[in-house]
Chain A
Amino acid sequence: MSRLLEVNDLKVSFRTYGGEIQAVRGVSFYIDEGETLAIVGESGCGKSVTAQAVMGMVPVPHGKVKNGQILFGDRDITKLSKKKLQQIRGSEIGMIFQDPMTSLNPTMKIGTQIREGILKHQKLSKNEAKEKALELLRLVGISDVEKRYSQYPHEFSGGMRQRVVIAIALACDPKLIIADEPTTALDVTIQAQILDLLKDIQKKRNSSIILITHDLGVVAEVADRVAVMYAGVVVESGTVDEIFENPKHPYTLGLLKSVPNLDSPDKERLIPIDGSPPDLFAPPTGCPFAARCPFAMEVCVMHMPDKETFSDHHYAKCWLNDNRAIKVEEMITAGSEQLV
């Protein structure tokens, strides 16, 4: 598999009246062709901003990419002109947004909204573009496409709209699809359908997907690899199996613990992670999770931990993995009540 996208030490900040918010503080990850990478984390951890940066859509004039590279093929997205970015958006990278109820233009026919991108990027006549749009609607599982083509968004249900949003993202066969919480706004039953659809499309087209979510259930179902983000940094990354079975960062562990388990004896309580994420106006110098971490040591507050690698894909940034620290596993087996 060849490398499709590589993000190196990305930093994005926003100017606000209260000062500068450092939303993304040195994020690195990569994605290969045909692969699904899930970026997980709680609200405000910088996952959506990372996605915006990859699209070259960090909102100006307040937002700014301060540092880092986003290598897409041989191009660095952070350095491209507006025109070049517009050529990549929609044609090489497609984006699926979170809220299907507001992501479609209410005064424009569905067909026109799909066709628009095709006409912009491909040398097709209006009729050929229409044919392609109809084909896309069929692909995303919409029936009676001829009629649906000239309907408006308000005539579609939420799930159907999300299918249209997906069709728009797929319009020009992009190599990379960024799905920013594609199922968050949907019913659970519809969620499963949409995820199946995404997996199906990926198989048919061998496209790569960056899936941004806070739902670990979704991650387990579709992702190949996971990057766990916290307070603007990737704290742990690895394959789905590595992350779910052998988490190396207490935050990842906390996330996994806070997911309900169907096999557990009844009346077991969910274990939340106490506290709240740090203030990104003045991010801590040490590990951002230290304040909430049950295993926090003095060094955690003072220094940001280095990257500790466990396998080809698996790494974590936590002092516990340093040779000098005692092991997380030992603490858990020692019956750490602190976790509860």
Chain B
Amino acid sequence: MYIVKRLFTMIVTLWIIATLTFMMMHFIPGDPFASDAKMLPEEILENMRAKYNLDKPLAEQYFLYLKDLAQLDLGPSIQSKTRDVNTLIAEGFGPSALLGIQSLLMAIILGIGLGVVAALNHNRVLDYLSMFIAIIGISIPSFILAPLLIKYFGVEWGIFPVASWGTWQHTIMPSFALALGPLAIIARFVRTSMLEVYNQNYIKTAEAKGLSTFSVVVNHGIRNALIPVISFIGPLFAAVITGTFVIEKIFAIPGIGKYFVDSIFNRDYPVILGTTIFYSTILIITLFIIDLAYRFVDPRIKITSRGE
């Protein structure tokens, strides 16, 4: 019952997002053919507008779009003559998602590790060191880090390929560049959370049982410390697997990150809508999964609809 309700609200949310995006998009001055307008005769422009239904009233365009959307058809891309939006996303999502998942795993594993080490050595050298790394991670933007990585690991030391997409080696530098920020945030989150858990009485109970330090940290500490961190990982997941403009541009990765930005410059209406809806769908589904996951991590949370 809960899941059915949840699915219903998810669809409503998506519809609202599609509507708002549609409206905002048409508020932006200009249209997809603005740059061609000077060169092309008026008749040709009109033909082109007619081909993409842009000559029809806005309300009609909106309903036509919703009709297609209901059949999971995101429409044609105006810029790319050969591929429609579905194909664009399908082709680009692979690299973006692979990169995203890889960097997210890196961020989670290293972030938790760093946070735990910092908390266990509270106010000692390792704590300061970990948090120094974390501060650097938060402060250096990826567009600074990426060129630095390319310069040293790619060009000077020749450890990894400089850019483009192909083998697994190609993914390492962009993954790391993408992971550092989230890694640092997770590390700080985990540290705070872990310090709080370590003040709890059940840690003393666990120690009084004579358990090894490892067992106390892992079974009693980390699991409880991760509960607040999970809610942060949800939106992060959606953000990184849908690709990033900057990293994909710098490393020349054929992902979908670029469409989010390019489509707006080109007023490529179907692509704007398509990428927004795609991103929202992933975000909503991720949040749903996170909510379900909470139940397994924290037994005190019961999944019920309101009033049940």
Which chain A residues border B210 with CB–CB below 8 Å? 85-91, 117, 120-121
CA distance A73 to B196 in the complex (A): 36
Give residues 84-120 of A contacting B (CB, 8 Å). 85-91, 94-95, 97-99, 102-108, 113, 116-117, 120
A-B contact count (CB 8 A): 83
Shortest CB–CB separation between residue A209 and chain B, in angstroms? 15
In the assembled complex, the CB of A321 is this many whole angstroms from the nearest CB of chain B, namely 38
- Given known pairs A103-B201, A103-B202, A154-B300, the reply for A108 and B208 (CB within 8 Å) is no
Complex partner residue of A103 from B204, B212, B227, B297, CB under 8 angstroms:
B204
A94: nearest chain-B partner, CB-CB: B208
Closest B residue, CB atoms, query A171: B209
Beta-carbon contacts of B117-129 to A below 8 Å, as 1s and 0s?
A: 0000000100000
Cα distance, A51 to B299, chains bound together (Å): 32
Q: Which residue of A lies closest to B212 (CB)?
A: A86
Query: How far is B227's CA from A105's CA once the two chains are assembled, in angstroms?
Result: 13
Known: A86-B211, A87-B210, A121-B210. A105 touches B299 (CB 8 A): no
Are A90 and B201 also in contact (CB < 8 A) when A105-B224, A107-B299, A152-B299 are?
Answer: no
In the bound complex, CA of A116 to CA of B220 (Å): 11
Question: B127 to chain A: closest CB distance in Å?
Answer: 12
B224 touches A107 (CB 8 A): yes
| A107 B211 Cβ-Cβ under 8 A | no
Is A219 interfacial (CB-CB < 8 Å)? no
Cβ contacts under 8 Å, B205 to chain A: 95, 97, 103-105, 113, 165, 168
- The reply to whether B209 and A116 contact each other, CB–CB distance below 8 Å, is yes
Q: Which residue of B lies closest to A154 (CB)?
A: B300
Residues of B within 8 A of A99 (CB): 201
Is A55 engaged at the interface, CB distance under 8 Å to the other chain?
Answer: yes
- Interface pair B204/A107, CB less than 8 Å apart: no
How far is it, in angstroms, between the C-alpha of A233 and the C-alpha of B202 when the chains are bound?
29
Residue B68 is within 8 A (CB to CB) of chain A in the complex: no
Tell me the nearest residue of chain B to A121, going by C-beta: B210
Cβ of A57 under 8 Å from chain B? yes
- The distance in angstroms between the C-alpha atoms of A86 and B201, with both chains bound, is 18
Of the residues A97, A98, A107, A171, contact of B223 by C-beta under 8 Å? A107
Q: Chain B's nearest CB lies how many Å from the CB of A333?
A: 47
Q: Which of B205, B224, B299 has the most CB of A within 10 A?
A: B205
Cβ of A61: which chain B residues have Cβ within 8 Å of it? 124
In the assembled complex, the Cα of A99 lies from the Cα of B206 at a distance in Å of: 14
- Would you call the interface of chain B mostly helix, strand, loop, or mixed? helix
B274 to chain A, nearest CB (A): 41
In the bound complex, CA of A108 to CA of B214 (Å): 16
Query: Which residues of chain A (49-106) have a CB below 8 Å from chain B?
Result: 55, 57, 61, 82, 85-91, 94-95, 97-99, 102-106
Q: Is the CB of A97 within 8 A of B204?
A: yes
Complex contact B209–A90 (CB within 8 A): yes
Tell whether B167 is near chain A: CB-to-CB under 8 Å: no
Point out the residues of chain A lying under 8 angstroms from B202, CB to CB.
Answer: 102-106
In the bound complex, do residue B209 and residue A120 qualify as a contact, i.e. CB atoms below 8 Å apart?
yes
Question: B298 contacts the other chain (Cβ, under 8 Å)?
Answer: yes
CB within 8 Å for A89 and B220 given contacts A97-B201, A106-B300, A107-B299: no
Taking CB atoms, residues of chain B closer than 8 Å to A97 are 201, 204-205, 208
Q: In A115-141, which residues have CB < 8 Å from any B CB?
A: 116-117, 120-121
Contact call B219/A108, Cβ cutoff below 8 A: yes
Q: In the bound complex, how far is the Cα of B211 from the Cα of A169, in angstroms?
A: 13
CB distance from A82 to the nearest CB of B (A): 8
- Judge whether B84 is part of the interface by a CB distance below 8 angstroms: no
Within the complex, the shortest CB–CB distance from A147 to chain B, in Å, comes to 15
How many Å from the CB of A153 to the closest CB on chain B? 9
Pick the most buried of A55, A108, A165: most chain B CB atoms within 10 A of its CB.
A108
B82 — which chain A residues lie within 8 A by C-beta?
none
Shortest C-beta distance, B200 to chain A (Å), equals 6
Query: Is residue B207 contacting chain A, with contact meaning CB distance below 8 A?
Result: yes
* Binary CB contact string for chain B from 200 to 240 against chain A (1 if under 8 A, 0 otherwise): 11101111111111010001100110010000000000000
Among residues of A, the one whose C-beta sits closest to the C-beta of B298 is A107
Say whether A57 contacts B207, CB under 8 Å: yes
Chain A residues in 8 Å Cβ range of B223:
107-108
Beta-carbon contacts of B223-259 to A below 8 Å, as 1s and 0s?
Answer: 1100100000000000000000000000000000000
| Residue with the highest number of chain B CB atoms closer than 10 Å, among A95, A116, A120 | A116
Q: Is A95 a contact partner of B208 (Cβ separation < 8 A)?
A: yes
Nearest CB of B to A95, in Å: 4
Give Cα distance in the complex from A121 to B208, angstroms.
12
Given A97-B201, A107-B224; A90-B208 close (CB under 8 Å) = yes
Name the B residues within 8 Å of A98 (CB-CB).
201
Which B27-51 residues have a C-beta within 8 angstroms of A?
Answer: none
Q: Which residues of B contact A57 (CB under 8 A)?
A: 204, 207-208
Contact, CB under 8 Å: A154 / B207: no
Other 18 A-B pairs with CB < 8 A, given A105-B224, A116-B215: A55-B208, A57-B207, A88-B210, A90-B210, A90-B211, A97-B201, A97-B204, A102-B200, A103-B205, A104-B205, A105-B202, A107-B224, A107-B299, A108-B219, A116-B209, A120-B215, A154-B300, A168-B209
Q: What are 18 of the A-B contact pairs (CB < 8 Å)?
A: A55-B208, A57-B208, A82-B213, A86-B210, A89-B207, A90-B208, A97-B204, A102-B200, A104-B205, A105-B205, A105-B224, A106-B202, A106-B298, A106-B299, A116-B215, A117-B209, A117-B210, A168-B205
3 tightest A-B contacts by CB?
A: A90-B210, A89-B210, A117-B209
